[in-house]
Amino acid sequence: MLAVHLDHMRKAVRLARYALDHNETPVACLLVDAKGHVVSWGINDTNRSLNGTAHAEFQAIDRLRDSNGVVDDEDLRHVISTCTLYVTVEPCVMCASALRQLGLPRVVFGCTNERFGGNGTVLAIQKGQSTPGPEYHVVPGILRREAVLLLRYFYVRSNERSPKPRNKTERQLDLESFPPLPWNEYLSREEFAAEIGSELLPAFDSQKDLDSEIEWSLVDEECKEVRPDFVPCKRVKLYR
């Protein structure tokens, strides 16, 4: 299962790099069906659109509607109920709630969202009675450091739309230090073993990343365009 998670998250990280290279917050996601086919993808569009709700998750949902003829909520829920969302950053509370209401069964994310995380860091929208809809499963920490690095690259740049921009000379790019990863706040030890592998349980116990090496090519190589063969979206069968 870990190999599958890594394969899809690598694509999501490269899409996030594409967002970075186009002056967007580097967050991206894929919707992947039960057979492993990418049915939609999205990147943050808040800077270009000046729309604070244009998060990657909503862009993927809109693309799913536009490219597949998903015209009503019944169709949308049917398709999404068969998918896993791979997203580079933990969904915010708003997105986490929308995903639950649409019946998504699983979210796999890279790094946590310390300010707005809706899948366990700030609130655990995926479970409990806070939001209508079935509970869904969460898997954190897949290519976490790569996702963190892209965000750091973004925030050391000038961002004209930041509410309190800082002088460039005040910004330091940290490429080496990363906080502990509290796996147990998002999934149990048994869930970790099933999703990621029992041989990696020492990472769970020590709150460390899965791999000692960062995949630098994912974050450092520019991504100026999204080729159709890079994220080949498969058309979905509608419920009706």
The total number of structural domains in the chain stands at 1
User: Residue 91: inside a domain, yes or no?
Assistant: yes
Question: Across 33-134, where does the E strand assignment appear?
Answer: 38-43, 84-89, 106-111
Alpha carbon distance 80, 103 (integer Å): 7
Q: Which residues are catalytic?
A: 57
User: Residue 94: inside a domain, yes or no?
Assistant: yes
User: Residue 231: inside a domain, yes or no?
Assistant: no
Beta partners for residue 43, in sequence order: 28
Write down the pTM of the prediction. Answer: 0.91
Whether the Cβ atoms of residue 13 and residue 150 lie closer than 8 Å to each other: yes
Taking Cα atoms as reference points, which of 94, 90, 60 lies closest to residue 182?
A: 90
pLDDT digits (tens, 9 = 90+) for 202-235: 999 999 999 989 999 999 999 988 866 666 666 6
Domain boundaries, position 152: 2-220
pLDDT digits (tens, 9 = 90+) for 112-150: 999 999 999 999 999 999 899 999 999 999 999 999 999
User: Residue 239: inside a domain, yes or no?
Assistant: no
User: Residue 103: inside a domain, yes or no?
Assistant: yes
Strands lying side by side in the sheet with 84-89: 38-43, 28-32, 84-89, 106-111, 137-139
pLDDT computed for residue 161 by the predictor? 54
User: Residue 236: inside a domain, yes or no?
Assistant: no
CATH code of the domain covering residue 180: 3.40.140.10
pLDDT computed for residue 11 by the predictor? 97
Percent of the chain with pLDDT over 90: 78
User: Residue 59: inside a domain, yes or no?
Assistant: yes
